[in-house]
Structure 1
Amino acid sequence: MPQWTIDSPGRLTFGEVTALNVRVVAGRLAVLASDGPPTLEVTEVDGSPLVVTHNDDGRLTVAYKDLTWDGILGWLRPGPRRTTLTLTVPKTCAVQAGVVSASAVVAGMEGSTGVKGVSGEIVLDNVTGEVQAETVSGSVESRGLAGDLSFSTISGDLTVAAGRPRRLRTNTVSGRVTADLELEPTGHVTMHSVSGAIVVRLPHDVDTDVSVHTTSGRIESAFPELHTTSAPGTRSLRGRLGGGMASLTATTMSGAVTLLSGSPAGRRGEEKA
């Protein structure tokens, strides 16, 4: 099993890579889908060196020895751990990417992707597989989502631009969720929040069932077909848009829920063309 210790900028090229596990603290991380040979390019290393291992079964690990996948969200150790690196792997490669305060971009992947972060910004660009994202206060931005995304956070924000998800599940405490969606007939969206606001933009001709509940939050809707009801300790918005089939469910304690009507970013671009 080949192993390298990276304490200075450099580049490595690997054979077959079927799974990637990368864990860094601060700096910048990019994981990009590529048809070429898998590569690692490091342009900055400050502090402890990175350890790279490539198993015979195709598993590639790039990490600090003392930073485990399960320990990402609770990382408290002092000292400089800054690195800037780019990894290119096949688009079907399974990816686990963990960052503490580093920013991360994962682009073009079609397999399963797991992302963990504490306070860094995470961007998922045209990721079409199954994605699980978990942060403490870091934000997650998804562009061109066409797969399954499960997002959980305490105070981090989630933004979904031009999304066509099969499944979208969000769970936040105070984080804000903003989603620009075009739902397929089999698309299902489930959002839970304690005090964070939820804003969803849907096409005016969407076919979906809608169910919104809040204890004390405000509900606003641009769809007159949906009906609002109020009772002591609860407010609800329900109804069917178009012919239904897809589903959108949002539940909050005190967070506001807003449904907007308009073409998602992807369709707006097509209409301009």
Structure 2
Amino acid sequence: MQQWTIEGPEQLTFGPVDALDVRIVAGRLAVLASDGPPTLEVTEFDSGTPLLVTYDEESRELSVTYKDLTWDGLLGWLRRDRRRTVATLTVPRHCTVNAGVVTASAVVAGFERVTQVRSVSGEIVLDGVSGEVSATTASGDVETRAMEGDLSFKSVSGELTVAGGTPRRLRANTVSGRITADLRLRPTGHVTLHSMSGAILVRLPENSQADVAVKSTSGRLVSSFDEVSKSSGPATKSMTGRLGGGMASLTATTVSGDVTLLKGEKQ
């Protein structure tokens, strides 16, 4: 096992890596899939606390973190801290990625197996990530681009934006954050969206084949698909219908948040 202590700008190269664990506080983090040798490049570093880098040749595990920044304590991080790091990591696309930030922004791109990201208030971009993906934030926003595979999103007030996604499974749960999803549904795709007060907006191609079920206690429900009809009961509003021959499913529920279903171009 090899270990390094980073207290300034530095570049390191490693042997084969199958699993990456990286956590920083503030600054910017990029984790990129690459066919080249695994590398870490720190271009800016402003902290009295050094970064610890550990590489295990046998397990092919790479860790980059502060000693006191644990996964369990990440979302509860309340300290006033000046630990600012700007870092780029490149590892193989088959690598399992665990990335955590407090206020730093993060870009994670190109991975195809298991990717987990956590943030307190930092913004996260997931670009071209497939496989099993989970994103958990307190107030940080998450944007996905060209998403495939499974995505699980949980947040208190952070927003989720899905741009050009083709998910197998998409599960999003937020208290007050907005959910905006531009989707192309697979024949067996399942999308489940839940918000307490945050608005939900979904755009599907006009030739989508999906069963739609939307419910809200007091939120406004709008659909541009003629096949989707609205009804109201004593304590809930609903909007249901079958697009095309069905197969895929879209479910959305809110308490007071509005839900809008828009029709996009044919896929």
TM-score bracket for the superposition, by shorter chain length: over 0.9
2:241 corresponding residue in structure 1: 239
Deviation of 1:76 (Å): 1.6
**Alignment partner of 2:63 out of 51, 61, 64:** 61
Who is 2:165 aligned against?
A: 163
The residue aligned with 1:9 is 9
Paired with 1:177 and 1:79, the residues of 2 have a C-alpha distance of: 30
Map residues 114-193 of structure 1 onto 2, 5 A cutoff.
114-193=116-195
Partner of 2:51: 50
Deviation at 1:263, TM superposition (A): 2.8
Alpha-carbon distance in 1 for matches of 2:4, 2:190: 44
- Give the CA deviation at 1:111: 1.1
In structure 1, stretches of 5+ residues that fail to align are 268-273
Out of 97, 100, 113, the residue aligned to residue 99 of structure 2 is 97
Distance in 2, Cα, partners of 1:79 & 1:72: 13
Q: 1:78 aligns with which of 77, 80, 84?
A: 80
Q: Deviations over 1:47-90 (max 9, x none)?
A: 11100001131110000000001111001223311000000000
CA distance in 2 between counterparts of 1:239 and 1:127 reads: 31
Question: How much has 1:137 moved relative to structure 2?
Answer: 0.5
Distance 1:22 1:40 in 2: 11
Separation in 2, partners of 1:46, 1:260: 46
Partner of 1:202: 204
* Unmatched segments (≥5 aa) in structure 2: none
How many Å separate the matches in 2 of 1:194 and 1:263?
A: 30
Which amino acid in the other structure matches residue 9 of structure 2?
Answer: P
Residue matched to 2:34: 34
Query: Counterparts of 2:261 and 2:74 in 1: how far apart (Å)?
Result: 35
The TM-score with structure 1 as length reference comes to 0.96
Alpha-carbon separation, structure 1, partners of 2:81 and 2:178? 32
2:191 maps to a residue whose letter is V
Q: By how many angstroms is 1:147 displaced?
A: 1.0
Q: Residue in 2 aligned with 1:257?
A: 259
d(CA) in 1 for partners of 2:112, 2:16: 17
Q: Displacement of 1:233 after TM fit?
A: 1.1
Match of 1:270 in 2: none
Percentage identity across paired residues of the two chains: 67
Aligned mates of 1:168, 1:49 — CA distance in 2: 38
Distance in 2, matches of 1:155 and 1:230, equals 28
Q: 2: CA distance between counterparts of 1:5 and 1:134? A: 28
**Cα distance in 2 between the residues matched to 1:184 and 1:77:** 44
Aligned residues between the structures: 265
Structure 2 distance, partners of 1:259, 1:236, is 13
How far apart, CA to CA, are the structure 2 residues paired with 1:231 and 1:189? 24
Cα distance in 2 between the residues matched to 1:164 and 1:155: 24
More deviation in 18-27 or 47-56?
47-56
